[in-house]
Amino acid sequence: MDEFFLKHNYLVLTYTVEVLAAITGIFLFKKYKNTNSKYFILFLIYLTICDWLGAYTTYVHEGRFLSFFIGTVFEKNFWWSTLFWKIGAIVFFAFYYQKVLIYKRFKKVLKWSNYFFVIFSIIYIIINWEDYFTRFFPVIDILGAIIIFMCSVFYFIEILQSETTLTFYKSLNFYISAAIFIWWLIITPIVFYDIYFTYDLKNSYKDLNFVFLRSQIYLFANIFMYSTFTFALIFCKPENDDMLIENK
């Protein structure tokens, strides 16, 4: 099981569902170009490109063209994943839901939460600069998850108070909100055990069993999330995000 999913097919399966969502968005971009959903499609493309760049570690091995990274801080891509996903994705969703949400107070909460998150993350990384290249930071993961939960909950509250309650299943933003809420709900508890995922440039990972378990959870969570995005892009109809409920 571990050998099948992780050694041979983990990257293939992950990239397949991710690229499928991005390609679906590209083909349907015209359908959503007059709505805020176009930003989400651009985000899917951004994720695909960044994940592809982050796969440089595949070539950081003896005999491969990036072997000169062996033993350096760039041997693993903790720094890149933290930058483009753990910080970048949160910043995007905070921005996106400020576009989607109607209530001004919800937008304001997200706006200032996003500012605090970015400033805190930068300061925390500077203070823990060496660890930035060898592990993930649980505090950044947890703060990011809180912002994601706020985005989703605020959206669900507005849906319940709008006239679109009976047709919510036709909304792309509903599926986005549900998918990211469930994804972060599954993944966030893992960060409390990420100490076992720390990488030592001399001794490799601290606990390979945890690495396998963590990868399996991420794999199935990613398949669920990106498959939901792909389905929603095809199934849903463009909506006027500014007509959901009265602006308050």
User: Residue 163 and residue 29: Cα distance in Å, rounded?
Assistant: 27
Average pLDDT, integer, range 112-133: 96
pLDDT score for 30: 93
Whole-structure pTM value: 0.88
- Which of 50, 49, 26 minimizes the C-alpha distance to 37? 26
Is residue 248 a part of any domain in this protein?
Answer: no
pLDDT score for 241: 54
Is residue 21 a part of any domain in this protein?
Answer: yes
Report CA Rg, the chain.
19
Question: What 3-state class would DSSP assign to 64?
Answer: coil
164/98: higher pLDDT: 98
User: Residue 48 and residue 19: Cα distance in Å, rounded?
Assistant: 6
pLDDT score for 200: 53
How many angstroms from the chain centroid is the CA of residue 67? Answer: 29
pLDDT score for 247: 44
Query: Has residue 5 got a pLDDT over 60?
Result: no
Query: Has residue 103 got a pLDDT over 90?
Result: yes
How many angstroms from the chain centroid is the CA of residue 146? Answer: 13
Is residue 200 a part of any domain in this protein?
Answer: yes
Sequence-separated (6 or more) residues with CB below 8 Å from residue 77: 54, 56, 57
pLDDT digits (tens, 9 = 90+) for 74-89: 888 889 999 999 999 9
Give the Å distances, CA to CA, from 10 to 15, 154, 165, 218, 222. 9, 34, 38, 10, 11
Q: What is the largest CA-CA distance in the chain?
A: 62
Amino acid identity for residue 183 in this structure:
W
Lowest average pLDDT, out of 23-27, 32-36, 55-59, 231-235, goes to: 55-59
Rounded (5°) CA angle 18-19-21: 70
Average pLDDT, integer, range 37-58: 93
Query: Has residue 138 got a pLDDT over 50?
Result: yes
Average pLDDT, integer, range 123-146: 93
User: Residue 87 and residue 89: Cα distance in Å, rounded?
Assistant: 6
Per-residue confidence band for 139, with pLDDT thresholds at 50, 70 and 90: very high
- Into how many domains does the chain fold? 1
User: Residue 69 and residue 53: Cα distance in Å, rounded?
Assistant: 15
Is residue 26 a part of any domain in this protein?
Answer: yes
Residue 155, classified by CB atoms within 10 Å of its CB into exposed (0-12), middle (13-18) or buried (19+), is buried
Would you say 48 and 22 are in contact if contact means Cβ atoms under 8 Å apart? yes
Residues in a beta bridge with 200: 204
How many angstroms from the chain centroid is the CA of residue 56? Answer: 19
pLDDT digits (tens, 9 = 90+) for 200-248: 545 455 556 777 778 888 889 999 999 999 999 999 988 765 444 444 4
User: 120: domain range?
Assistant: 2-243
Percent of the chain with pLDDT over 70: 85
Query: Has residue 34 got a pLDDT over 80?
Result: yes
pLDDT score for 153: 97
Amino acid identity for residue 118 in this structure:
V
Residue 165, classified by CB atoms within 10 Å of its CB into exposed (0-12), middle (13-18) or buried (19+), is exposed
Would you say 177 and 210 are in contact if contact means Cβ atoms under 8 Å apart? no
Query: Has residue 113 got a pLDDT over 70?
Result: yes
Average pLDDT, integer, range 171-200: 84
Q: Report the chain's mean pLDDT, rounded to a whole number.
A: 86
Is residue 162 a part of any domain in this protein?
Answer: yes
How many CB atoms sit inside 10 A of residue 200's CB?
Answer: 10
